[in-house]
């Protein structure tokens, strides 16, 4: 699996961030289409209404070979959470815990040509974070939902957690399955000095479920630095053997943002940290 910005630290560019009360004040999406634009002749159909954060969908026809676009990597689109009606992406607060829950469906014919090959790799989606390192540098990461059934959490200074891996036969889903997911952020201020996260994953089509809990890497930000951002991601690829063009379609719905609840998940994460300290 090739990922252009997997766990990358990149120069800050593009949309400005607003002064923020944090993620729980989100009231709209700030949409950035063609954040990557390897296929500029593609046809994009966004379905993201203004002044809401409950639904976001983008369908894209990458166009078949023979167009003006040579075979490249991918197009990427982002819907940043915003607290000013979508004018700017909001600035996360390191000391504000939160929970984002949602359902999603990923559909694509990128590998549906009978050859068994992936061209050049699978589409991807999921919740996406930019952890502000300071000095204009952003460390990207999130929940990576890959079209071959792989799902994992990492980057943005989060320690790596695996939910499903296609290469070892533990696929978490197939294209078209309905996925229910949540991401809970526990700030260091609310969690005894160590920031952490919990991701709950359930495939509502097959019944497969898994919860992962982990902390942030001690060699970087202890959580999400002030000024960081959160978004939904569409990373669309093209299969050059599909005559009618590759169609990618990722939908997020039933999206809810709430303050992070203290309780069983927090206690379980506390046990994980305590165990690691004992082994240290």
Q: Residue 91 pLDDT > 80, yes or no?
A: yes
**Res 261: pLDDT:** 61
Helix (H, G, I), strand (E, B) or coil at 83: coil
Q: Residue 2 pLDDT > 70, yes or no?
A: no
**Res 36: pLDDT:** 97
pLDDT digit string, tens, across residues 206-260 = 999 999 999 999 888 999 999 999 999 999 999 888 878 899 999 999 999 998 7
Q: Residue 264 pLDDT > 50, yes or no?
A: no
**Res 143: pLDDT:** 98
Residue for token digits 């252009």?
4
Strands (E), 208-265: 209-215, 229-236, 247-259
Could you give the percent of the chain with pLDDT greater than 70?
A: 84
User: Residues in the chain, how many?
Assistant: 280
Judge whether 240 and 119 are in contact, CB under 8 Å: yes
> 112 or 3, which is more confident?
112
> 113 or 264, which is more confident?
113
- Mean pLDDT in residue range 193-200: 95
**Res 77: pLDDT:** 98
- Mean pLDDT in residue range 135-147: 94
Q: Residue 22's pLDDT band (boundaries 50, 70, 90)?
A: confident
**Res 100: pLDDT:** 97
pLDDT digit string, tens, across residues 168-188 = 999 999 999 999 999 999 999
Helix (H, G, I), strand (E, B) or coil at 101: strand
- Mean pLDDT in residue range 74-102: 96
- Mean pLDDT in residue range 132-153: 94
Q: Enumerate domains of the chain plus CATH numbers.
A: 17-279 (2.60.120)
Distance CA 170, CA 193 (A): 34
Distance CA 82, CA 99 (A): 16
Average pLDDT, the chain: 87
**Res 48: pLDDT:** 98
- Number of Cβ within a 10 Å radius of residue 120: 15
Instruction: Give pairs for 134-140: CB < 8 Å, separation 24+.
Output: 134/225, 136/11, 136/12, 137/9, 137/10, 137/11, 137/12, 138/9, 138/10, 138/11, 138/12, 138/228, 138/229, 139/7, 139/8, 139/9, 139/220, 139/221, 140/5, 140/7, 140/8, 140/9, 140/10
Judge whether 181 and 208 are in contact, CB under 8 Å: no
**Res 11: pLDDT:** 46
């Amino acid at each position: 699996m090739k990922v252009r910005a997997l766990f990358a630290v990149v120069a800050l560019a593009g949309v400005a961030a607003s002064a923020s009360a944090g993620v729980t004040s989100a009231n709209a999406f700030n949409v950035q289409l063609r954040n990557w634009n390897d296929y500029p002749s593609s046809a994009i159909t966004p379905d993201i209404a203004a002044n809401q954060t409950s639904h976001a969908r983008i369908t894209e026809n990458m166009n078949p070979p023979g167009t003006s676009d040579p075979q490249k990597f991918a197009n990427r689109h982002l819907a940043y959470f915003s607290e000013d009606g979508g004018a700017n992406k909001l600035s996360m607060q390191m000391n504000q815990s939160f929970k984002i829950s949602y359902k999603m469906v990923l559909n694509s014919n990128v590998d549906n040509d009978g050859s068994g090959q992936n061209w050049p790799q699978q589409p991807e989606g999921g919740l996406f974070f930019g952890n502000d390192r300071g000095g204009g540098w952003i460390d990207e990461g999130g929940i990576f939902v890959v079209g071959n059934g792989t799902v994992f959490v990492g980057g943005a200074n989060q320690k790596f957690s695996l939910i499903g891996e296609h290469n070892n036969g533990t696929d978490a889903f197939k294209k078209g399955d309905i996925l229910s997911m949540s991401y809970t952020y526990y700030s260091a201020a609310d969690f005894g000095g160590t920031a952490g996260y919990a991701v709950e994953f359930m495939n509502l089509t097959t019944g497969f479920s898994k919860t992962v809990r982990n902390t942030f890497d001690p060699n970087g930000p202890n959580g999400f630095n002030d000024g960081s951002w959160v978004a939904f991601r569409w990373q669309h690829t093209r299969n050059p053997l599909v005559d009618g063009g590759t169609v990618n379609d990722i939908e997020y719905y039933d999206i809810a943002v709430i303050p992070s609840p203290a309780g069983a998940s927090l206690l379980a994460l506390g046990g994980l940290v305590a165990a690691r300290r004992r082994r240290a």
